[in-house]
């Protein structure tokens, strides 16, 4: 029987603490995810958002690797523009060694223009960002698998580059390619990904259409579609309750005043454990084996606990 896996997304905006308490809040939440049996935690890769305090994700994951023992550690997703891809590959290999083989390597082409410009990275057109992503994946795979890596591309190059020690996971850490664009899916996801991540899609119809498109892209590049693990976000956020009598109160606490209840429910999976399980079953029937979860009540842990006890234990 195929194991169903659950990853918890912990974006910077889920945390309310200011320095010096921020890392402690993240660490404690990750330890709770590990205790509850979740398979992985995922940090986003942002450097700034207005004046919000944000910890750099790879440094933070390294610290979390030493604080944890089982849970896997992922980037959702690391932006290729933020680091030279050879350095990123070396960083990833190091984290995989430090964590004992627990890295989930999530990578994407980048989307936040203001952030790129502020840090001096530039923000080229989507086609170029995708080309850079493809080259970065080629660079990383060479460094992770070859004794001496050479590569000459349009944007990046290697000349007898050595990456030692190699990652613990063989042949390399699983690659999750994030993004939904047709060109990105064809050029990066189909040939390179071990798992895809399309973020939350508003309908099961759209999810099916993207699966069909990815299968066609895999055929075009000679890739076995079944080699790519199917992942999904069952909702933009999850608001789980013990019983229906709590639901209206919880929604009132979380729904923005200017948002209708109908629109709130379009992106929020709100209900009991059984209702959440039924919603996930739609994706299980399509072969999904990995669920990405963002809990609306973070950094509180009530939702994490209810979901772990009522859904993860049942399906995982």
Instruction: State how far the Cα of 283 lies from the Cα of 291, in Å rounded to an integer.
Output: 9
pLDDT in tens, 213-223: 999 999 999 99
Nearest to 297 by CA among 241, 248, 257, 235: 241
pLDDT greater than 80 at residue 16: no
At residue 17, what are phi and psi to the nearest 5 degrees? -70, 150
How many structural domains does the chain have?
1
pTM: 0.96
**What end-to-end distance do the CA atoms of the chain give, in Å?**
10
- pLDDT at position 6 is 98
Q: Residue 17: pLDDT band by 50, 70, 90 thresholds?
A: confident
Instruction: State how far the Cα of 166 lies from the Cα of 144, in Å rounded to an integer.
Output: 6
**Distance, CA of 8 to chain centre:** 9
CA gyration radius, the chain:
20
CA of 160: how far to CAs of 136, 156, 173, in Å? 16, 14, 22
At residue 187, what are phi and psi to the nearest 5 degrees? -85, -30
pLDDT in tens, 25-83: 999 999 999 999 999 999 999 999 998 999 999 999 999 999 999 999 999 999 999 99
Instruction: Please give the residue range of the domain that contains residue 137.
Output: 5-315
pLDDT in tens, 247-284: 888 898 888 989 998 999 999 999 999 999 999 999 99
Q: Return the structure tokens found at 191.
A: 């040939």
The CATH number of whichever domain residue 275 belongs to comes to: 3.20.20.30
């Amino acid at each position: 029987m195929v194991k169903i896996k659950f990853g918890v997304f912990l974006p910077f905006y889920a945390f309310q603490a200011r320095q010096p308490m921020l890392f402690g809040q993240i660490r404690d939440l990750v330890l709770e995810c590990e205790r509850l049996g979740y398979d992985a935690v995922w940090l986003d890769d942002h450097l700034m958002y207005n004046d919000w305090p944000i910890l750099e994700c790879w440094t933070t994951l390294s610290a979390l690797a030493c604080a944890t023992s089982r849970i896997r550690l992922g980037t959702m997703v690391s932006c290729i523009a933020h680091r030279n891809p050879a350095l990123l590959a070396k960083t990833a290999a190091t984290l995989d060694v430090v964590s004992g083989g627990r890295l989930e390597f999530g990578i994407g082409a980048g989307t936040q223009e203001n952030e790129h410009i502020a840090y001096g990275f530039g923000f080229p057109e989507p086609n170029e960002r995708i080309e850079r992503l493809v080259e970065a994946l080629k660079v990383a795979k060479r460094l992770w698998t070859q004794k001496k890596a050479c590569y000459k591309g349009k944007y990046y190059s290697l000349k007898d580059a050595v990456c030692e020690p190699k990652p613990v996971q063989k042949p390399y850490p699983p690659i999750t390619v994030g993004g939904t664009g047709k060109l990105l899916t064809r050029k990066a996801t189909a040939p390179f990904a071990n798992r895809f991540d399309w973020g939350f899609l508003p309908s099961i119809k759209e999810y099916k259409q993207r699966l069909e498109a990815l299968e066609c892209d895999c055929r075009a590049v000679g890739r076995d579609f079944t080699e790519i693990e199917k992942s999904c976000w069952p909702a933009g956020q999850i608001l789980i309750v013990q019983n229906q009598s709590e639901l209206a109160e919880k929604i009132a606490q979380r729904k923005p005043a200017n948002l209708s209840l109908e629109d709130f429910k379009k992106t929020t999976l709100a209900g009991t454990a059984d209702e959440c399980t039924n919603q996930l079953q739609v994706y299980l029937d399509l072969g999904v084996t990995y669920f990405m979860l963002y809990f609306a009540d973070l950094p509180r842990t009530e939702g994490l606990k209810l979901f772990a006890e009522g859904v993860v234990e049942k399906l995982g």
